[in-house]
Amino acid sequence: MKNNKALVFSAHAADFVWRCGGAIALHQARGYEVTIICLSYGERGESAKLWKQDNTTTPMVKQARKEEAEKAAAELGAHDIIFLDLGDYPLDLDRESKYKIVDIIRKVQPDFMLSHSRFDPYNTDHMYTTEIALETRMIAQAWGHNPGEKVLGAPQLYLFEPHQTEQMGWVPNVFLDITEVWDKKRKAIECMEGQVHLWNYYTNLAENRANHFRRNSGGQAGGRPAKYAEGFQAVFPRCVDEL
């Protein structure tokens, strides 16, 4: 029996929690193996609370963010979390680092992938991560890259919701009901002690997206009463036998 797989690209150690923690927990509960790639710890630009403490050092911040992310991934039940420690603000990958990601993609063979919005003027690490996701997806499909390895098929890439959505050109065309795993996501959110200011923001966002789920799923006519949801934007066409 084939084990379904999913792969999450997270620019910084906390991004996967806010933006697709529900999707991770839900698919793990449905029998998927979800692997998370954290390209950086977010030690420079995503850890202001830690840097405001006396005698803080970069290794201390990295370790704190790593521990938070590991705890959050465990709360979500994630199959694996991989830290590449490639630096942030700015995030910049060389060819060798890209090939490491290709190796991970080919090993995982995901049925779908998740990453950031394609535009984010407030945080270029985020949109660069999706550029990397698209590029490494392409390389992983190439028969001439490390011939003899199993090549990647054509997994859908879903872009999860950015912060300050209206500024990003991100338009959701998929809503996922995460009500049954919301408690897991909230516990994962509370693991991110370096960014407490985002806890309630992403709780409110999940409630708002649930409203959109209800509205677009026939909820006004007795459909499923979702309480929490996440939104995504599919990059590639969906090929279906039925609408």
Does the pLDDT at position 226 exceed 90? yes
* Whether 67 contacts 83, CB under 8 Å: no
CATH of the domain at 178: 3.40.50.10320
Which of 239 and 114 is assigned the larger pLDDT? 114
Cα–Cα distances (Å) from 219 to 143, 193, 204, 215, 228, in that order, read 46, 35, 19, 5, 13
Name the CA dihedral angle for 134, 155, 35, 158, rounded to a multiple of 10 degrees. 70
Q: Residue 150 falls within a domain, yes or no?
A: yes
Structure confidence at residue 219 (pLDDT): 60
pLDDT in tens, 69-126: 999 999 999 999 999 999 999 999 999 999 999 999 999 999 999 999 999 999 999 9
Record the pTM: 0.95
Q: Residue 243 falls within a domain, yes or no?
A: no
Q: Where are the alpha helices (DSSP H) in 141-218?
A: 182-189, 199-216
pLDDT bucket at 221, cuts 50 / 70 / 90: low
Q: Residue 28 falls within a domain, yes or no?
A: yes
Q: Residue 148 falls within a domain, yes or no?
A: yes
Structure confidence at residue 77 (pLDDT): 98
Number of domains the chain contains: 1
Q: Residue 206 falls within a domain, yes or no?
A: yes
DSSP assignment string, 12-65: STTHHHHHHHHHHHHHHHTT-EEEEEES---TTTS-HHHHTSTT--HHHHHHHH
Tokens 């620019």 belong to residue: 11
Q: Residue 45 falls within a domain, yes or no?
A: yes
The distance from CA 130 to its chain's CA centroid, rounded to whole angstroms, is: 10
The distance from CA 231 to its chain's CA centroid, rounded to whole angstroms, is: 12
pLDDT bucket at 137, cuts 50 / 70 / 90: very high
Does the pLDDT at position 2 exceed 90? no
Segment 222-230 shows an average pLDDT of 86
Q: Determine the longest span between alpha carbons in the chain, in angstroms.
A: 60
Does the pLDDT at position 169 exceed 70? yes
- Structural domain harbouring 71: 5-161+168-234
Q: Residue 239 falls within a domain, yes or no?
A: no
pLDDT in tens, 190-217: 999 888 889 999 999 999 999 999 988 8
* Whether 160 contacts 230, CB under 8 Å: yes
The distance from CA 223 to its chain's CA centroid, rounded to whole angstroms, is: 28
Q: Residue 95 falls within a domain, yes or no?
A: yes
Distance of alpha carbon 15 from alpha carbon 81, whole angstroms: 13
